[in-house]
Structure 1
């Protein structure tokens, strides 16, 4: 989506971690916030990222079965290699 937006969805996906970590400069942060206000898909993606981080932060390594750990790592590697977010 780019209609009237300074940043497109692909760019947002690439910098979402920096956005959530508060590591963007003020201008880029503003552009991302404006994009999220107008793009339901990206807003949902960011909400999913926040929820995933919240849930993952409550897990301890010993609580995760080895087979599940490998499945999760494989999924994350696949998303990174494809350059696309899940969902």
Structure 2
């Protein structure tokens, strides 16, 4: 497995949705690739932090509007 293949499988890997052979290939790659190991760790940290966010409906309306505007213009 190479890094590009791992990136394509990261969500399924973290959800435990890979078949055993593919999961083993991912685990073997992670054992040898510090970059991908870091990538997975960052993904896990992001998932944990996002899980701590309050529900969007609890944000004040002006804050929610500002965030939505910022994200709409982010890719430009």
Whether these two folds match at TM > 0.5 is: yes
Give TM class, smaller chain. 0.7 to 0.9
Output the TM-score relative to the length of structure 1.
Answer: 0.68
Output the TM-score relative to the length of structure 2.
Answer: 0.77
Equivalent position to 2:40, from 39, 46, 49? 46
| Structure 2 unmatched runs, 5+ | none
More off after superposition, 58-67 vs 32-41: 58-67
**How many residues were matched structurally?**
70
Cross-structure match for 2:2: 8
Where does structure 1 differ by over 6 angstroms across 4 or more consecutive aligned residues?
none
* CA distance 1:63–1:54, shift in 2 (3 Å): farther
| Structure 1 unmatched runs, 5+ | 1-6, 79-87
Q: 5 Å matches for 1:1-87?
A: 7-60=1-54, 61=56, 62-63=58-59, 65-66=63-64, 67-68=66-67, 71=70
RMSD: 2.4
- Rg bigger for which structure? 2
Q: What is the Cα deviation at residue 72 of structure 1?
A: 5.6
